[in-house]
Structure 1
Amino acid sequence: MKKNLLMGLMLLGWGTVAQAQTKLSLSVPLLDLPQNTQLPQRYPSMHQALQWSADVYDVSFWGIDAASNALFDKKWTQTGFSYATGLLFSKYGSELPLPLGVWGHEEYHRSVLGTKGIASKNGNWIFHRWDGTVYGPSDEDLANLKATDNNALLYAYTAGVQYETQLTKTSVMNDFYNERSFYKAPLYLYNAHYVWNYFRFATSIHSDSVKVIAPEFEHKEATQRDFAGADLTAWAYDMFNPNASYYDRDDFPNGQGENRRIGFHDLSEEAQKYLVKQKRLSLLNFLNPAIILVNRIRINEELTILPFVQYSPTHFGNSISLNMPFTYKGDGYFLGVNRYANYKDAYYGVEAGVYQRALNALQGLSMSCTVKLWKQPDSFFGSKANWGGAIKWGVAYAVADRLALTLDVTGKTAGWLEGNPYLKRNFNPVLGFQYIVPGLNSAKL
């Protein structure tokens, strides 16, 4: 019954697309180096997982908007129907074994594991299985990763939740710079609630109960079980016990290896307090005007802005960012302030950029560029912090009225950069294309 409901929501979103009168632009990254050549799974990369799922959400919400326009005449009923249906789709449709929320969440885990040479499979993919897991890594793989690079293991745990926060950031900014008649506000609300609710589960006795009950329904072979069990309690456990062996976990009952699930009361009192604090901080993700359909704030005829806040757990603790996309005289810009905190200290970073600036000297060519500077903790308990940064430069070249080829190049120093699975230095070119669905608007690239 649940699967039929999910498929029905998807068909509702896609089956009425032809009636929509809104601009729909799809960005498709085809080649992402070095991930598409170096990861054990090759495809998708972290960025591809984000963008492909963002495109599927865009098409789905576009269809929901078309359905509301076809069913209702009054604006308030159209908006109410679109928001309610969009919220249902965000919650239940995201669980489909397709490039949507749960799939993207698991792919983010896999990307980080893949950078360390650990092969895995997505347990929320139509050609594998439908249970919201990342399976394949052995206990030996995870024990070796913790012993040799605990930061990478912690990043692998938190990468899933980072998918939700980055999906929101990417979508909010794209919708801000490109006005449209439909917006994905219900998805932003769902993502904020998802992160907070995950922390709520992790800090409750339910995480203890699941640790006891779940093994009865899990595979006896360790490689067929989820690599983390529960992301956030595993994160807190290994973050507060960096020198402990991975094998200190409880044995898996009636099966092989370790019980990878960590309950809240398996954590030290210190770790419990920290996790509860993170649950409170995750409420910052609700400080986003786009959730309540405020997609831009007009200051005057020349200036619009949309400030919003985001919280993400990281391998060194957490990151809190104030994002401020704005337009001035029709051109897109971005400013951001970031706070990076470990257990004892906090450091800061800044970000600035321009968005799709047309190059008058070359017809059909536009450019985007973002520069990010930071000082980040080296680890959760460590007193060392490192300066670093990243530059992202992108161009789009229109080869037809509705088709553009795209090239995005990112270079970063050692450190954490959202949407990049490497903690070491990395140079990352991405080739793809952008396509505006024809016949539905008169806009050109």
Structure 2
Amino acid sequence: MPYQFYATRTTGSFFTGYANPSMAQSLAMSNNLYSTAHYGINRGVRLKNEFFRKLLGSALVLGFDLISLYAPFGMGWLHEEYHRAVLTRREINSFNDMNTFPFGQATVSVRKIDDEDLIRLSDQHTFDFIRLQSAGLEAQYHQIQSLQKNNFYYNQALPHIPLYWLSTLNAITYVIQSASAEDFDPLIDEANEKEGADISKRDFTGPDFTAWVSALFNPDRPYEERGIHPSGVGINRYIKPSELSTDELAYLKRQGNLQWINLLSPHLFGFPKIKLKSTAQGDHYGNIAIRHLLTSFGNDICLDLFYQTPKNNYFFSLHNFNNLNASFFGLEGAVIDRPFYFNKIMVSGRGMVWTQPRNQSFTTSDASLGGLLSIRSAFVLGAWWPYFEIEAKTKGWVMGNVFLEENISFRGGLSLRFR
């Protein structure tokens, strides 16, 4: 809540609202799929030779991850659900074609959206519209970060490395190729011809990042200026790389090149935890990851720091937010599963403080101060951990939080912890 209220109004009833999961819900479901499958494969492969055991296990994990790209709850599904969460926030319904198991298709759509809804979103909620285009990429890096946290803090030792690489290389390639007219112009022409006059078949945007950069540079441009669809029915939604201006194309290429820094992490190379020192109380561990994400105003380049002592779990992140001409900075810190009351209550807290471009503007040099605070309490009942969480934020972009405006959200759920 309150996301579930928006989902209810979007679909017509409270329970059908769960067909439009929030970012937190879709992330949890996708993580459950991969954690369960990777755990099962890890436990199921039984060979005496350690080298061949790991080789076979890695091959099976890779095979599963490749198949899951086109299945519900897989990485591709999660990518589309983050798009849909932004739409649902503004009470726009949609359908995720990943639910149809579209194996081998070059493009997969979020569709069944009317032009009038996209016009309203673009004109009345401009920065949600910009964030809509990049939300799929946000989903992929949010998942990688959360799985890395699980392996680091909970000693899961799950073989997520193939997924890290598949998702990261998919994201890098997608952003880079979006600046290529040779790659995407023919795909757009083919899609327009195939979909014809049936608006319900059309994706909400086509190539994510040509639409993203075009909206960044032209926030006040009316959506209808995209022109009439080649079929003569509806608006021509898809923006070709060849239609971008010189400045737009140069900026998109620069963001594509910056995507490579997402490979800078020991997690991706088989080192989920690095021992820093040993004391009489126990061992201390650390790790790092660098990420480049696209936002409603430009990008966020952050350095994630993982740290674990014998008694406490800490997470820090240094954020460098950038729009066209200026840089802004943020600091994030979290304590994870701090035990209280004879280890029967586990409390996690997270705080952020930042400066981001005022009003999410792509061109301003003026900063706006903001922040986020969340607390989560879980009650330990054996393997069952029911929890309650409250999160409050000011205006600003935060990975995995669909609200760009001020917001207070409440979440409750059940976590299962198996040794």
Is the TM-score greater than 0.5?
A: yes
Answer yes or no: is 1:381 the counterpart of 2:363.
Answer: yes
Q: How many residues align?
A: 401
1:287-322 deviation line (CA, Å, top 9, x unaligned) = 121111101111111321011111111110001110
Alignment of 1:4-153 (within 5 A): 33-39=1-7, 40-41=10-11, 42-43=17-18, 44-67=21-44, 69-70=45-46, 72-96=47-71, 98-126=72-100, 132-153=108-129
Unpaired stretches in structure 1, ≥5 consecutive residues? 1-32, 438-442
Matched, 1:313 2:294: yes
Contact preservation (8 Å) 1:122, 1:128? no
Backbone CA RMSD of aligned residues? 1.9
**Mapped partners of 1:254, 1:228: distance in 2:** 17
Partners of 2:28 and 2:2 in 1: how far apart?
17
Q: How far, CA to CA, are the matches of 2:59 and 2:311 in structure 1? A: 32
Q: Distance in 2 between matches of 1:162 and 1:168?
A: 10
SS of structure 1 residue aligned to 2:277: coil
**d(CA) in 2 for partners of 1:127, 1:36:** 26
The one of 185, 188, 202 equivalent to 1:211 is 188
Offset at residue 261 of structure 1 (A): 1.5
CA distance in 2 between partners of 1:157 and 1:181 (Å):
34
Spell out, residue by residue over 1:196-216, the C-alpha distance to the aligned partner (whole angstroms, 9 max, x if none): 011122011211111212212
Task: Write the distance in 2 (CA, Å) between the matches of 1:101 and 1:243.
Answer: 33
Deviation at 1:326?
A: 0.6
What is the aligned partner in structure 1 of residue 379 from structure 2? 397
- For 1:51 and 1:180, the matched residues in 2 are separated by 16
Structure 1 partner of 2:141 = 165
Does the 8 Å CA contact 1:298/1:304 hold for their aligned counterparts? yes
Matches of 1:410 and 1:219 in 2, distance apart? 44
Write the distance in 2 (CA, Å) between the matches of 1:113 and 1:183.
33
How much has 1:371 moved relative to structure 2? 0.6
Q: Are 1:247 and 2:215 counterparts?
A: no
Q: Percent identity at matched positions?
A: 27
**Alignment match, 1:343:** 324
Normalised to the residue count of structure 2, the TM-score between the two structures is 0.91
- Contact kept, 8 Å, 1:103 with 1:132, in 2: the verdict is no
Q: Secondary structure at the match of 1:300?
A: strand
3-state SS of 1:307 partner:
strand
CA distance in 2 between counterparts of 1:384 and 1:142 reads 29
SS in 2 for 1:235: helix
Give the alignment partner of residue 350 of structure 2, picking from 361, 370, 380.
370
Q: Report the counterpart of residue 394 of structure 2 in structure 1.
A: 413
The corresponding residue for 2:14 is none
Deviations 1:3-36 (A, max 9, x none): xxxxxxxxxxxxxxxxxxxxxxxxxxxxxx1111
Higher relative contact order (CA 8 A, sep 6+): 1
Q: Could you tell me which amino acid in structure 1 is paired with residue 206 of structure 2?
A: G
Letter of the aligned partner of 2:140 in structure 1?
Answer: E
Aligned pairs for 1:178-189 (under 5 A) are 178-189=154-165
In structure 2, distance between residues paired with 1:183 and 1:354: 25
**Which moves more between the two structures, 215-224 or 101-110?**
215-224
Q: Displacement, 1:150? A: 1.5
CA distance in 2, matches of 1:272, 1:183: 38
Q: Which amino acid aligns with 2:351?
A: V
Partner of 1:24: none
Q: Which residue is 1:278 aligned to? A: 255
Give, in angstroms, the shift of residue 172 of structure 1. Answer: 0.2
Unpaired segments of 5 or more residues in structure 2? 12-16
Q: Is the 8 A contact 2:196 2:231 kept in 1?
A: no
Q: Report if the CA contact (8 A) 2:70-2:102 is conserved.
A: no
Q: Could you tell me whether the CA contact under 8 Å between 2:151 and 2:157 is conserved in 1?
A: no
Deviation (angstroms), 1:270: 0.3
Supply the distance in 2 between the matched residues of 1:60 and 1:181 (Cα, whole angstroms): 13
1:350-365 superposed matches below 5 A: 350-359=331-340, 361-365=341-345
